C-alpha cells in the first residue's frame, strides 16, 4: 500500500452550464468558476523553445517563475496572479509577462515577540519530527508490501500496527507546533495549490500553511490571518471563493470571512475532509455552496441545510440547471430543490461509472455532455441526462498523473498531464484528438482570453497564441 498522494490545483470548481458564474465578477480557479471560454479563439499547436526552434512555436512570452507552484492563473484586467512555493503570490502584467510584484504570506507574519524568541528551537524540532515522520512512512509502506505478500505473518501485522501508532503520535507532536512551523504536506502538493481570487480591486490568497491574506492591486497588504492548520498529512488544495459578499475558506472547517478585514462571520465545523473547492450556487434564490462531500451549506449563516447530494474524493462538484454533478466512478447527479424555511431538498437522478481510478481534475459540461479524465489519462464523455458513459479513450499524454481539469475554449477541449503534454480535442459523442503539444511539466489548468492561452508550468508562466505578422 502507498499512502495517498497529495492533491493539486486541478482540484477546485467545475464547469457549469445554464447558470450564471458565482462571485459577482470576481475570478479565481478556472477564472469565473465555469472552465468555459466560449469567446476564445485559441491556437491548437505550440512548442517550447528548442535548439532547432529557438523562439518556440506560438509562444508570445514565457516568464520565469520564482519556484514551482500548482495554483492556476487568475486573470483580471491587465494583471495575472499566480503562486510560487512555498508562500508567494506573484502579480504579472498580461501584455508582456513582466513581474509587477511578489508578496510572501508566512506564518511569521502573525508572530508575537514571544513567538519569535523561541522560533529557532521550535523550527528545529519541527524539522526533526518531519524527518521522523517520513522515515516511518517509508517503513510503513515497505511493511505493507511485505504483509501483502505474506498475509498470515503476525509479526508483520504487529509491526505495521506499531508503526502506524508511532506515526500518528509524531503527527500529533507536529500539530503542536502550529504557530511556528508549516503543516505537513506531500511533496507533490506543496503549499501553493490553491488558486488566488480577485475582483479587480483586491486579491485573496490561501496557503497550505493555513495562512490567508488580502492585497490590493499594487501589492499593499490589507490583512493577513492564520485561519487554521491543515490536519491532513498531504496538505491543502481548496481555492478561496468570493460569494454573497463573503470570502469562503475551507481548510479543515468551512469559514466565511469579511473580504475587507478577514474577520470571521461564521464557521461550519464537522464537514468531511475533501480536496475539492465548494461550488457556489442559488437554490430558489437562496445562496448556498455545495461541498465536495455533498453537504449544502447556506451562505447567510453557515448552516448545513441538506446532505447526501454526492461525494468526491478529489475533484469538485458541478451545478447546472438545478442539478449537482459529482463525477468519478460511482459518482451521481442530484437535483437540488427549494425546501421549507430556506432549506434545500435533494433527489438522486442517476449514478455513473466511468473507469475506476482517481479523478484529480474536474470535468466540464457542454451541450448535454460531461467530459472528464482520470489520473491515468483515460478521457470519457458522459451523457448528462442519464450518466451513461458514451465513449472512453486513453490519451497519449506520457508518463505521470493527470491533474489538469478539462477546459472548453472556442469550441475545443484542452486537458493535460504533469508530463507537460496537453491534448486539444474536438468535443462530441465521438470526440477526436486534434493535437498533442508539449511544454515543461505542469499540474495546473489553463485559462483563455481572446486568442491567448495562459498556462503556469513548474518553471514558467506562458502566454500562448498566434504572433502578430
Choose from 45-49, 50-54, 225-229, 433-437 the range with maximum mean pLDDT.
433-437
In a domain, 323, yes or no: no
E strand or H helix at 157: helix 154-175
- For residue range 144-168, list pLDDT tens digits in order: 999 889 999 999 999 999 999 999 9
Same domain, 36 and 161: no
412-446, pLDDT tens digit by residue? Answer: 999 999 999 999 999 999 999 999 999 999 999 99
Residues 90 and 150 in one domain: no
Asked, for residue 303, whether it belongs to a domain, the answer is no
Last residue of a domain, one of 143, 175, 207: 175
Report the alpha-carbon distance of residue 378 to residue 395 in Å, rounded: 6
pLDDT per residue as tens digits for the range 306-322: 999 999 989 999 999 99
Confidence of residue 121 (pLDDT cuts 50, 70, 90): confident
User: What is residue 114's predicted lDDT score, i.e. its pLDDT?
Assistant: 85
Residues 40 and 157 in one domain: no
Alpha-carbon radius of gyration of the chain: 22
Same domain for 127 and 260? Answer: no
Is residue 148 reached through a cis peptide bond, with omega within 30 degrees of 0 on the bond before it? Answer: no
Q: Classify residue 295: in a domain, yes or no.
A: no
101 and 119, same structural domain? no
Indicate whether 62 belongs to any domain.
Answer: yes
pLDDT band per the 50, 70, 90 thresholds, residue 272: confident
365/226 same-domain check: yes
How many structural domains is the chain composed of?
2
Q: In the structure grid, which three cell numbers stand for residue 191, read together?
A: 503549499
**Which set of grid coordinates corresponds to residue 129?**
519530527
How high is the pLDDT of residue 24? Answer: 55
Task: Tell me which range, 119-128, 179-188, 268-277, 407-416, is most confidently predicted by mean pLDDT.
Answer: 407-416
The strand pairing partners of 204, in sequence order, are 197, 214
Residues 6+ apart with CB under 8 A from 88: 66, 67, 102, 103, 104, 105, 192
Predicted confidence at residue 23, as pLDDT, reads 47
User: Is residue 308 within 8 Å of residue 298, measured between CB atoms?
Assistant: no
* Statement to judge: residues 418 and 392 lie in one domain: yes
Q: How confident is the model at residue 14 (pLDDT cuts 50, 70, 90)?
A: very low
Q: Is 86 a domain residue?
A: yes
Rounded CA separation 49/36 (Å): 28
Average pLDDT over residues 382-393: 98
Mean pLDDT, all residues of the chain: 91
In the numeric block, the cell 529557532 is attached to: 120
Check whether residue 60 and residue 93 sit in a common domain: yes
264 and 390 in a single domain? The answer is yes
Whether the pLDDT of residue 189 is over 50: the answer is: yes
Q: Which three cell numbers stand for residue 319?
A: 451545478
Residues 269 and 417 in one domain: yes
Statement to judge: residues 77 and 157 lie in one domain:
no
Q: Lowest mean pLDDT of 68-72, 169-173, 301-305, 393-397, name the range.
A: 169-173
Residue 254 belongs to domain with CATH number: 2.40.128.630
Q: At CB < 8 A and 24+ separation, what contacts does 285-292 make? A: 285/338, 286/338, 286/342, 286/344, 287/243, 287/244, 288/344, 289/241, 289/243, 289/248, 289/254, 290/317, 290/319, 290/324, 290/336, 291/250, 291/254, 291/317, 292/316, 292/317, 292/326
CA distances to 276, 280, 370 from 413, in Å: 21, 24, 11
pLDDT tens digit sequence for 16-33 = 333 333 445 789 988 877
CB atoms under 10 Å from CB of 124, counted, come to: 12
**Structural domain of 140:** 112-175
Give residue 230's pLDDT band: very low, low, confident or very high (50, 70, 90). confident
pLDDT of residue 423: 98
Percentage of the chain surpassing pLDDT 90?
A: 75
Cβ contacts of 220 within 8 Å, gap of 6 or more: none
| Residue 165 placed within a domain | yes
H/E segment holding residue 173: helix 154-175
The span from the CA of 250 to the CA of 227, in Å, is 9
Domain end residue (candidates: 175, 203, 218): 175
Q: What is the mean pLDDT of residues 3-14?
A: 35
Cell of 33: 468558476
- Asked whether residue 445 is assigned to any structural domain, the reply reads yes
Task: Give pTM, 2 decimals.
Answer: 0.86
3-state secondary structure of 123: helix
Strands 412-416, 407-409: pairing is antiparallel
39 in the same domain as 146: no
What tens digit of pLDDT does each residue of 330-344 get? 999 999 999 999 999
pLDDT tens readout for residues 77-102: 999 999 999 999 999 999 999 999 99
pLDDT value for 172:
84
Q: Which residue has the cell 438522486?
A: 348
Residue of 321, 387, 326, 335 lying closest to 359 (CA atoms) = 326
Q: What is the DSSP letter of 118?
A: H
Kindly state the average pLDDT of the residues 24-52.
88
CA-based nearest residue to 427, from 441, 442, 415:
415
Residue bearing cell 509562444: 59
Q: Is the pLDDT of residue 280 over 90?
A: yes
In a domain, 340, yes or no: no
| pLDDT at site 226 | 94
Amino acid at each position: 500500500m502507498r499512502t495517498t498522494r497529495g492533491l493539486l490545483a486541478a482540484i477546485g470548481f467545475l464547469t457549469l452550464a445554464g447558470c450564471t458564474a458565482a462571485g459577482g465578477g470576481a475570478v479565481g480557479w478556472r477564472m469565473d468558476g465555469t472552465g468555459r471560454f466560449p469567446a476564445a479563439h485559441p491556437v491548437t499547436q505550440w512548442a517550447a523553445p528548442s535548439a532547432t526552434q529557438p523562439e518556440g512555436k506560438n509562444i508570445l512570452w514565457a516568464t520565469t517563475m520564482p519556484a514551482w507552484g500548482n495554483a492556476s492563473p487568475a486573470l483580471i484586467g491587465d494583471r495575472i496572479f499566480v503562486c510560487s512555493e512555498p508562500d508567494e503570490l506573484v502579480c504579472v502584467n498580461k501584455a508582456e509577462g513582466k513581474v509587477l510584484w511578489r508578496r510572501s504570506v508566512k506564518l511569521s507574519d502573525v508572530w508575537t515577540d514571544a513567538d519569535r524568541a523561541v522560533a529557532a528551537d521550535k523550527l528545529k524540532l519541527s524539522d526533526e519530527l518531519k524527518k521522523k515522520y517520513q522515515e516511518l512512512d517509508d517503513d510503513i509502506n515497505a511493511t505493507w508490501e511485505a504483509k501483502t505478500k505474506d498475509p498470515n505473518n503476525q509479526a508483520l501485522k504487529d509491526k505495521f500496527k506499531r508503526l502506524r501508532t508511532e506515526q500518528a503520535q509524531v503527527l500529533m507532536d507536529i500539530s503542536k507546533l502550529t504557530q511556528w512551523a508549516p503543516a505537513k504536506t506531500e511533496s507533490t502538493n506543496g503549499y501553493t495549490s490553491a488558486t488566488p481570487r480577485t475582483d479587480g480591486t483586491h486579491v485573496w490568497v490561501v496557503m497550505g500553511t493555513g495562512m490567508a491574506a488580502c492585497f490590493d492591486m499594487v501589492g499593499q497588504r490589507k490583512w493577513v490571518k492564520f485561519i487554521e492548520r491543515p490536519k491532513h498529512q498531504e496538505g491543502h488544495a481548496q481555492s478561496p471563493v468570493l460569494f454573497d459578499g463573503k470570502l469562503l475558506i475551507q481548510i479543515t472547517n468551512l469559514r466565511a470571512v469579511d473580504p475587507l478585514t478577514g474577520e470571521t462571520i461564521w464557521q461550519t465545523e464537522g464537514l468531511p475532509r475533501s480536496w475539492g473547492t465548494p461550488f457556489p450556487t442559488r437554490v430558489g434564490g437562496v445562496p448556498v455552496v455545495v461541498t465536495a462531500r455533498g453537504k449544502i451549506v447556506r451562505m447567510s449563516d453557515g448552516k448545513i441545510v441538506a446532505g447526501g447530494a454526492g461525494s468526491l474524493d478529489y475533484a469538485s462538484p458541478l451545478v447546472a440547471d438545478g442539478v449537482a454533478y459529482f463525477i468519478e466512478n460511482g459518482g451521481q447527479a442530484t437535483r437540488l430543490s427549494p425546501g421549507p424555511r430556506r432549506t434545500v431538498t435533494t433527489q438522486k437522478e442517476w449514478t455513473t461509472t466511468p473507469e475506476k481510478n482517481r479523478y484529480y481534475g474536474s470535468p466540464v459540461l457542454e451541450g448535454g455532455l460531461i467530459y472528464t479524465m482520470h489520473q491515468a489519462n483515460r478521457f470519457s464523455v458522459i451523457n448528462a441526462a442519464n450518466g451513461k458513459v458514451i465513449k472512453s479513450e486513453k490519451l497519449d499524454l506520457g508518463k505521470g498523473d493527470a491533474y489538469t481539469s478539462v477546459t472548453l475554449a472556442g469550441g475545443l477541449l484542452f486537458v493535460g498531464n504533469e508530463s507537460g503534454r496537453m491534448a486539444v480535442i474536438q468535443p462530441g459523442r465521438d470526440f477526436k484528438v486534434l493535437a498533442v503539444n508539449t511544454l515543461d511539466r505542469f499540474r495546473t489548468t489553463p485559462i483563455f482570453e481572446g486568442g491567448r492561452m495562459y498556462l503556469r508550468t513548474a518553471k514558467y508562466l506562458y502566454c500562448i497564441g498566434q504572433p502578430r505578422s
